[in-house]
Structure 1
Amino acid sequence: MYRLDYTLNNPNKGSIPDPPGFLKARSKETVAIDAPTTDVIAKRTKKATELKMKRAWDLAIGPAKSLPMQAVMLYFSGSGIQIFSLGMIFMLLTGPIGAIFNILKTFEQFRPTPLPRKDGTIGSPSYMPLILPMLAFVGCQGLLFSLGLYKCSTMGVLPTGTGDWLQFETRNEPPEWSAARASSLG
């Protein structure tokens, strides 16, 4: 309140600029604040929406930025089947899946504030402007998941060869029997 009185009663009022965010009063007794017009609200909303979209793109590309670090960590974990390398692979395979399932909660804070309509009402926020950042996020998570699958393949954990599926193969009955076997078995 001191600053408000000082500013209103200051004879050198023009020489010192008001601090940022300071609202001027009409008189000493009452503080009247002019309501912002719809144009001002629309400009603020547009600026906030642009900032939210920039932050959404930063979040969407974030997993791709960690891809080289994850690759180096996998390289140094070795190709043997040990608890450390299996734990890293487990995190690389489950992390992207969990992130994709929680994508709406992840991008909730970046939903743009809707602009006010001409009748003064405000619509509900939508995820439609965030479709491209969300797709980029899913793609980057897919890259992390594929890195984990590649590491599983190089370690030999994935069943990729025919020898890995021998337990599921069935033997066919021989098409003909020898005479000795037929006479012994009846």
Structure 2
Amino acid sequence: METRHRLPAAERRESILAAASVVFGERGYAGATTDQIATAAGISQAYVVRTFGSKEALFVEVARRAVGRIAAAFRSAIEADDGRPVDRRLGEAYLDLIADRGILLSLLHLFSLGSDPAIGPVGREGFLTVYRLVRDEAGLSPEEASHFLAEGMLINTVLALHLHESEDPDALELVTQACGGDLSRFRALAAG
């Protein structure tokens, strides 16, 4: 007889958030269902709902988790002063987040829901959290910080459009510029 090992509640919660991040990233908020998320997490749909209450509440938690991951990655990059300019270290940290399937794409969906009364405020606060972090903690000027965020949004758009998979010369040129010149690494990270 096989004995099943029960995960602690915090680990189950994190596994749901990780699965939801991927599903929301691939399908968007409107297209994702709690049943798809449950299947991806290997649990019942009822458990997802019992844990988070609603798809909206789950999406908000996915968004907060994504912003938290970005903030943690950026703070590590700021602390790891290896002689490279801080904006380069931040950019490298952001690209590394591509490997965590769904985080950057979930954020893109979050930002597209700015007019939603429950989700919009979470998106605005998350975006401003990242802006303040790169401006205040990393020491970028407002102009540098806004340029950095614009490059990050370009990376998110490239991922969402799967331009990194294209063989179109213009797409390859754009993706190569967006990822700092290392297209093969970008593709590997995006492939998971």
The question of a shared fold, defined as TM-score above 0.5 by the shorter chain, is answered with: no
TM-score calculated relative to the size of structure 2: 0.31
Say which structure is richer in helix: 2
TM-score calculated relative to the size of structure 1: 0.32
